[in-house]
A and B are shown apart, each in its own frame.
Chain A
Amino acid sequence: DGGITQSPKYLFRKEGQNVTLSCEQNLNHDAMYWYRQDPGQGLRLIYYSQIVNDFQKGDIAEGYSVSREKKESFPLTVTSAQKNPTAFYLCASSIATGVGNQPQHFGDGTRLSIL
């Protein structure tokens, strides 16, 4: 079955530690996205990538980093610079951005908490 896989489902971070969230898709989609979801605030865009080896900052990129070395993979690193990392992180993909206005397909998220 085609889809998006996020791992792990739950993740705990110690103070001063970087953690990496995995996102893999087998939908052959060009575009991938990372969102942060906090209670009552909906989804906010962290980073997005339209093509391999290229990515752009979203609305709340500070304290986060990404890479896009392969079409299938778009890992997100939450760095120690992100002072309030506790949230639900969602990865999504779409056929392409700005072309045909395609819907996004989401993974089931990673819940990150601070120890």
Chain B
Amino acid sequence: SQQGEEDPQALSIQEGENATMNCSYKTSINNLQWYRQNSGRGLVHLILIRSNEREKHSGRLRVTLDTSKKSSSLLITASRAADTASYFCAGFTGGGNKLTFGTGTQLKVEL
């Protein structure tokens, strides 16, 4: 079963614009993680936000978490063509000791 649903499924923007991706999840989580996947490659961890945090920054990335709404958002500012990839949220449930991934957002950044 999928923990999260990303929205939108696909997003196309121009270089320099901001990209926002949303994730809604179903069950309580200990933390929520965001990963990036370039075409045909493995996933790369971007950022982790704990259930007691509301916002976290890392470089051009900003993640928010709203546990009352069971939702998170990933903002990439000043996007670059190299940001073109799929982005996945994943919820960590401590009881299950495992990550459950969402379906992903495909981001395309055009020159």
* Bind each other: yes
Q: Which A positions have Cβ atoms within 8 angstroms of B?
A: 4, 6, 33, 35, 40-45, 48, 50, 58-59, 90, 92, 97-98, 101, 103-109, 111
Asked whether A42 lies within 8 Å of B42 as measured between CB atoms, the reply is no
Q: Which residues of B contact A33 (CB under 8 A)?
A: 98-99
A101 touching B98 in the complex, CB below 8 Å, given contacts A41-B103, A106-B42:
no
Q: Which B positions have Cβ atoms within 8 angstroms of A?
A: 1-2, 9, 30-31, 33, 40-45, 48, 50, 88, 90, 92, 94, 97-104
Q: Which residues of A contact B45 (CB under 8 A)?
A: 103-105
Some 14 contacts from A to B, beta carbons below 8 A apart, are A42-B88, A42-B102, A42-B103, A42-B104, A43-B43, A44-B2, A45-B99, A92-B42, A92-B43, A98-B97, A101-B31, A101-B48, A104-B43, A106-B43
